[in-house]
Structure 1
Amino acid sequence: MKINKYIMVLGMGLMALTSCNMDEAPTTSVSVEDANHAINDRLQLDAMERGINQSFRACMYGDMSMVDEVMCDGFNATSDFGNNYGPIHRTDVSLTASDDDVESMWSNMYGAIKNYNIFIDNVERYVQIDTLPENQAEARYGQAEARFFRAYSYLQLVRHYAKAYNAATAGQELGVPLVLHFDLKAKPARATVAEVYDRIKVDLDSAALQLNKVVGEARAERPTVDALNMMYARYYLDIKDYTNAAKYAQKVIDTKKYLLSATADEMAAEYTNDEGTEPIMQLPATLTENGSGTNGDYTRFAAYALLKQYGYPGGGLYEEPYFLPSQKLLNLYEDKDLRVDQWFQTGIYTVYLAGRFFKSGVITFNKYEGNPALTSNGVPNGRQHVKPFLISEAYLIAAEANFKAGNVPAAKTALNAIQRARKATLTEATEETIENEWFKETVGEGLRMSCLKRWGKGFDGRAAQPFAAKYGAALTDDPKSSVHVYDLKKLSADDYHWVWPIPAHEFRLNDNLKQNKGYDEN
């Protein structure tokens, strides 16, 4: 794996982030030789805990979620997208093992795993030399955090770089390398899909010894029993153990601590101001720190004072997005749905595309417009408090898992809870209505790719907004062409692109790896 000679684990982590509201973080480096002797007192323990929390946060948003979304059928590239995310959006021959976007997921996750491994092993030594009960308790909680975070990283890796879990073949299909201890010289081969999922379960079970004692609350900044149960629910849904997936999702729902936004004001509090009741976890962010990646490419705000003077909407602000929500996605919403006004906009801001400004007519995706408290110049920048787990996902998992298990009434109850809160029409629980609700509710959260893989379904086109055809603002395909990569793009369930390539640079460092089907190792 990509491992630096000096490991920034005391407060900074690999990602060089600032502190997580846990006091200021020191910037001391630890040499490779000292990596396994880095915790000698409580100060160093706390600093390293900040480091692993920062590593976890750095694995959210930006490339960590947007790539999954624009690969699928919810978004169309605009004429101004400049080939940003181009290979993954087209999923054609330009998507290779050298692609920066698919490499980013790999390097971020393994960089974080390196920090978790160092911390976990250091705690084993630390608890032998510091016998103060409160210090031992904090060390064990931090170790549980690290195992929880590691489980999250491996779930992300196996979802992207391996085939979807199939009980009949998981023991033979290649997953990703399992790295459980820091070793600069190691050249791990790929474990099987079954072995990776087994490791995720081992880490969650180990974390549970401590996290089961940590009571959850809305917007918790660190892992709790409810975040743990969400991870169990994701794990069991992936391996198609629907009884347990529904069980763990329902545990979170039954706490009644996490409430779906059911009014326009509640939606704004949740998705604009980061003050809602839906997050099972919500990670720290401040105006002065860089934080994690942002989802600002959906909007790309800028200011141009003359727009206001000439009567354009937005008070001088305009958007120049790389991607627009597809008409296929927009058609799923009813006008009365609260998500329409909160997550999509037309006529509120000026939009600049194809060399001209538009006052209305184009619908942009503004779910991640940005928290006003996290910008210093009044221009939205896409920065939000990262929310790794939301209660809406618990309802969706409960709906899908109960339906698959044959408990249709329970599936309908969970499905209708979301629909009722969002002011959408209540429906019966069917495969189609549940899958559509996943699409509508989690758009932009980086879950679309994993959903389609889990369901064993591709997509049949991603029809663009009428605006695109009328003004040429979105890249569109010639219907007469035999190769379609934009709005007419189809991706069958058995297309090899659903499994991303192992990054090319890994093969230069590790000759024990095997590449996924369809990709060149060079």
Structure 2
Amino acid sequence: MKNIFKYIMFAGVGIFSLSSCNMDEEPTTSITVKDGEKMITTDNLLQYYRNGIATSFRSTLYGNNSMIDEVMCDGFNATIDYGNNYGPVHRTDKGFTDSNDDIASYWSKEYSAISDYDIFIDEANKYYPTAASSIAAKNTAKGEAFFYRAFAYLQLARHFGKDYNPSTASSDLCVPLVLHYDQEAKPARATVAEVYKQIKEDLDSASTLLAGTTGKIRSQRPTIDAVNALYARYYLDTEDYANAAASAIKVLNSAAGYKLSSTMKEMKDEWQDDKGTEPIMQMPGSLTENGTGTNSYYTRCDSYAALTQYKISAIYLDPYFLPSQKVLNLYGDKDLRGMWFSDGYWYLDNDYHACLIGSGLQFQHFYTFNKYLGNPSLTSSYANARQLPKPLLISEMYLIAAEAEFDLGKTAEAKEILNELQTSRGAEATEATAENIHNEWFKETIGEGLRFSCLKRWHTGFNGRAAQPGALKDEVIYTSGDGSTYTGKNFPADDPHWQWPIPSHEIQLNSNLVQNTGY
């Protein structure tokens, strides 16, 4: 009988581990299963692999999976120290090809996780417990798997497929749909319509199975609020604005009581200490277990003892990317989100720290981006950009609801929702116009990995990444040549790079895959 090797990434390892699991008897990373045999035969194994797919989901958050979206667009400028990290992505010039490692990593992370979800769903379907509590546990776990898979395919569709267009979605190519694990399969690319149809089917399954899993602030697992939040993203992408607004408003009105941070203390609780009231989901982590990517290229830290002679800390900041003047211009003086940026010496743990870019100490005339400086409880030394991943935040629901209501022509409703977000942040309330709503998305979600999908959805592109004058003065921004691929980058709405390339390695292995235009 043929042996089938089935692997669930990091199954049960780390913060999700079950203390009741006997690691000497039960698998730690993978198992070999013969045809006809079952992976899940007990409640304990069900929970064990449920933890595994949660860990797989967490592995697709932050780090590379959000950095590309941000540095490819207009919110950041590369510093002279960036060492070509994300260079082809940042420039999107002739060096950005189908062999790009960053894009290949994004693709492989998502599809590796999807394989885990597929295996789990199929194996859970073979488990037939009789106790009511066991049946409920199985249904909850399956609901979570459907949620994770819908999340993954939405991410892939937003990046590798064309923007959803009702007129062409049935012919525009997206990504392969893989719903059952098969090592030998060579699936062709499905259409945009087919992929979004599958996302909806998975969300419908998750909605049914998680209907009784009520929302909770900072929930470590998918809840019905998380499902509705993902529905809101789905409906916004597919131009079903009535359902996008309704789904987002369901979450805004949730009994869980998600609340926007409206004071400096609340902002610190949220963005530094991971103890805020905004996350619809917040994945776990600990000092001894990383568990996810970090956004460290914004806040790289190192130590240089000689700095202490200036009465400052030996720990210094050396970022690869600085926020552009373009985004900084959007914030008012009283906007609480200004805490995400630091000028002059940055202050942490009752000490002042310098910024060193290039060969000299910078008495900064520019701002650094410190939104992901790091949770102090997740480091034993200095700031390392480790935060607990927050895949869904209540602030995004305000933005989706405002955009959807505006696109429905309901400007009064859009203004009310937009103003609630703005005033909570200490920002000036504005009228609900497309420009103001778009700007609020930029200000609110900077660094969160949503900029690319927003510009793609709006069909606006961008012209230039105006750099901070102080960064230019201190010569810390990369402006090679005429700057046309750096500060002067022009990225029109019809540029083919709004569809990322199918990784060349995948096409070499699977002749049924067709490459996107322009690569």
Residue 351 of structure 1, CA deviation: 0.7
Give me the whole-angstrom Cα distance separating, in 1, the residues matched to 2:288 and 2:19: 14
Pairing 1:355–2:356 present? no
Length-normalised TM-score, structure 2: 0.94
The alignment-based identity, stated in percent, is: 53
Residue 8 of structure 1, CA deviation: 3.7
Residue 24 of structure 1, CA deviation: 7.7
1:82-481 correspondence runs (5 A): 82-127=83-128, 130-255=129-254, 257-312=257-312, 315-348=313-346, 349-377=353-381, 379-478=382-481, 481=482
Give me the whole-angstrom Cα distance separating, in 1, the residues matched to 2:461 and 2:333: 27
Residue 169 of structure 1, CA deviation: 0.3
Give me the whole-angstrom Cα distance separating, in 2, the residues matched to 1:355 and 1:24: 54
Residue 207 of structure 1, CA deviation: 0.8
Residue 21 of structure 1, CA deviation: 5.9
Residue 7 of structure 1, CA deviation: 4.1
> In structure 1, what is the equivalent of residue 493 of structure 2?
493
Residue 341 of structure 1, CA deviation: 2.1
Pairing 1:48–2:45 present? no
Farther off after superposition, 241-250 or 32-41: 32-41
Give me the whole-angstrom Cα distance separating, in 2, the residues matched to 1:24 and 1:508: 44
What SS does structure 2 have at the residue aligned with 1:31?
strand
Equivalent residues, number: 504
Give me the whole-angstrom Cα distance separating, in 2, the residues matched to 1:47 and 1:404: 44
Residues 496 and 517 in structure 1, CA contact (< 8 A), matched pair in contact too:
yes
> Alpha-carbon deviations, 1:473-505, whole Å to 9, x = none?
111154xx4x71000001000000110000011
Residues 302 and 317 in structure 2, CA contact (< 8 A), matched pair in contact too:
yes
Change (3 A) 1:359 1:513: same
What SS does structure 2 have at the residue aligned with 1:150?
helix
Length-normalised TM-score, structure 1: 0.94
> Alpha-carbon deviations, 1:194-219, whole Å to 9, x = none?
00000000000011112121111110
Residue 360 of structure 1, CA deviation: 2.4
What SS does structure 2 have at the residue aligned with 1:360?
coil
Which 4+ runs in 1 deviate beyond 3 A? Answer: 5-8, 21-26, 32-36, 342-346
Residue 171 of structure 1, CA deviation: 0.3
Give me the whole-angstrom Cα distance separating, in 2, the residues matched to 1:96 and 1:155: 23
Give me the whole-angstrom Cα distance separating, in 2, the residues matched to 1:17 and 1:107: 20
Change (3 A) 1:219 1:35: farther
Change (3 A) 1:17 1:81: farther
Residues 261 and 276 in structure 1, CA contact (< 8 A), matched pair in contact too:
yes
Pairing 1:57–2:58 present? yes
Residues 299 and 366 in structure 1, CA contact (< 8 A), matched pair in contact too:
yes
Give me the whole-angstrom Cα distance separating, in 2, the residues matched to 1:472 and 1:17: 46
Residue 359 of structure 1, CA deviation: 2.9
Residues 346 and 364 in structure 1, CA contact (< 8 A), matched pair in contact too:
no
Give me the whole-angstrom Cα distance separating, in 2, the residues matched to 1:36 and 1:204: 29
AA aligned opposite 2:321: F
AA aligned opposite 1:455: W
Residue 12 of structure 1, CA deviation: 1.5
AA aligned opposite 1:146: A
Give me the whole-angstrom Cα distance separating, in 2, the residues matched to 1:24 and 1:355: 54
Residue 19 of structure 1, CA deviation: 3.2
Residues 347 and 360 in structure 1, CA contact (< 8 A), matched pair in contact too:
yes
Give me the whole-angstrom Cα distance separating, in 2, the residues matched to 1:196 and 1:35: 30
AA aligned opposite 1:12: F
Structure 1's unaligned 5+ residue stretches are: none
Residues 15 and 286 in structure 2, CA contact (< 8 A), matched pair in contact too:
no
